[in-house]
A = this chain, B = another copy of it.
Amino acid sequence: MANIRDIAKHADVSVTTVSRVLNEHPYVSKEKRARVHKAMKELGYLRNQQALTLSTGKTQRVVVILPYMDHPYYGFFVNGLAKAALEHNYRLVMWQTEYKLSEERQALDLLKHREVDGAIVLSHEMSFKEMETYRAYGPIAVATVGAPETISSIHVDHYASFVSGIRVLQSHGYEQIGMILSRSHSPSSLARQQAYFDEVAHAREQWIWTGYLTSEDGVRLAETFLSQKERPRALFFSSDYVALGFLGEMQRRHIAIPEEVAMLGFDGHPIGRAFGLSTMLSPNEQIGRRLFETTLAEMNGAQPETHGMTVSYQVGTTL
């Protein structure tokens, strides 16, 4: 493992000159530059990133905090993040929390311990108040609403999005509407419920089902839904995967969609399109990209940024 000093000795120059060549600084004579390059080749020099990191104080890494890496919902975010990070020569450290607050804290501790330069939070149990205590150690960007000024937020405006989704349902003639949500107390879920009660005339508490995250949950939901005496005519799902699980189970039971119950999803996953799921298309990949870019900007001195994204209706056959 030849280091910068070995190269200097071999090329008969100072370490500073080697460092300058390495960093493509000007003010190095052609001849010495060539000697250094020759020495690097001969000794098989490989720059040690750890040393660079300690010396500069920059890690070129960002931690991405999310509950589950195998949930397709996060796929598009992460894809956008990964592309943007790679383009800017940054590395993504992934931290899976399984919705555990203790894991979120450990992940954000990376910031404190100078292991990463910034943090991107796709889902959090932690209050913004607590999250702000980490802010002193580096920029934080979240994909949820309600962030304070110190924390960047690139998010779907869930209130506006659900209002527009509900209007799509209403424009198709559905008035009795139910809603399927993931976590009952998350900020986005609260915004969705607000939209529901603001916009749906026949809103009912018991037509909001919470705790549905996966396609398997969607399958379970079918049973629950069908056992209900008074049922809504349409269901608005906060996740395409839950909707698809429900749709598959309804097909198995030979229950006609949308005749028996209409369905509107949320996300816009390709697999949903294959089954004709009507859905609200969310620009998740773009959000991922912007989350990285805003974090990068903050690392370069920019101010935190808040930006709400809008969704659009993607026509299907379940309405």
Residues of chain A having any CB pair with chain B under 8 Å:
46-51, 53-54, 57, 59, 61, 68-72, 75-76, 78-79, 82-83, 86, 91-96, 103, 110, 112-115, 214-216, 218-219, 241, 244-245, 247-249, 251-252, 270-271, 273-276, 285, 317
Report the minimum CB–CB distance from A305 to chain B (whole Å).
Answer: 24
B115, A50: Cβ atoms under 8 Å?
yes
Please give, as numbers and ranges, the residues of chain B lying within 8 Å of A76 by CB-CB distance.
70
Known: A50-B59, A96-B83, A252-B276. A270 touches B214 (CB 8 A): yes
> Contacting A216 at CB < 8 Å: which of B47, B72, B274?
B274
Report the minimum CB–CB distance from A240 to chain B (whole Å).
Answer: 10
Please give, as numbers and ranges, the residues of chain B lying within 8 Å of A247 by CB-CB distance.
274
B83, A114: Cβ atoms under 8 Å?
no
B83, A75: Cβ atoms under 8 Å?
no
Known: A61-B93, A79-B70. A249 touches B271 (CB 8 A): no
Ranked 5 nearest A-B pairs via Cβ: A70-B75, A248-B274, A70-B79, A82-B96, A248-B275
Report the minimum CB–CB distance from A56 to chain B (whole Å).
Answer: 10
Please give, as numbers and ranges, the residues of chain B lying within 8 Å of A70 by CB-CB distance.
72, 75-76, 78-79, 285
Please give, as numbers and ranges, the residues of chain B lying within 8 Å of A216 by CB-CB distance.
270, 273-274
Distance of A75 Cα from B241 Cα, bound (Å): 14
A75, B79: Cβ atoms under 8 Å?
no
Please give, as numbers and ranges, the residues of chain B lying within 8 Å of A271 by CB-CB distance.
215, 241, 244-245, 248, 271
Please give, as numbers and ranges, the residues of chain B lying within 8 Å of A273 by CB-CB distance.
216, 219
B113, A47: Cβ atoms under 8 Å?
yes
Distance of A115 Cα from B115 Cα, bound (Å): 12
> Contacting A93 at CB < 8 Å: which of B78, B91, B112, B214?
B91
Report the minimum CB–CB distance from A211 to chain B (whole Å).
Answer: 16
In the complex, the chain B residue whose C-beta lies closest to that of A222 is: B274
Residue among A83, A94, A271 with the highest chain B CB neighbour number at 10 A = A271
Report the minimum CB–CB distance from A259 to chain B (whole Å).
Answer: 16
Please give, as numbers and ranges, the residues of chain B lying within 8 Å of A47 by CB-CB distance.
113
Please give, as numbers and ranges, the residues of chain B lying within 8 Å of A78 by CB-CB distance.
69-70, 94
B50, A54: Cβ atoms under 8 Å?
yes
Distance of A59 Cα from B115 Cα, bound (Å): 10
Known: A79-B68, A270-B214. A50 touches B244 (CB 8 A): no
Please give, as numbers and ranges, the residues of chain B lying within 8 Å of A57 by CB-CB distance.
50
Report the minimum CB–CB distance from A85 to chain B (whole Å).
Answer: 9
Please give, as numbers and ranges, the residues of chain B lying within 8 Å of A95 by CB-CB distance.
86, 91
Instruction: Give me 20 other A-B pairs in contact (C-beta within 8 A), A50-B50, A78-B94, A86-B96 excluded.
Output: A46-B112, A47-B113, A48-B113, A49-B113, A50-B53, A53-B54, A69-B78, A69-B82, A72-B72, A75-B75, A91-B93, A91-B110, A92-B94, A216-B270, A216-B274, A219-B273, A219-B274, A248-B271, A251-B275, A275-B275
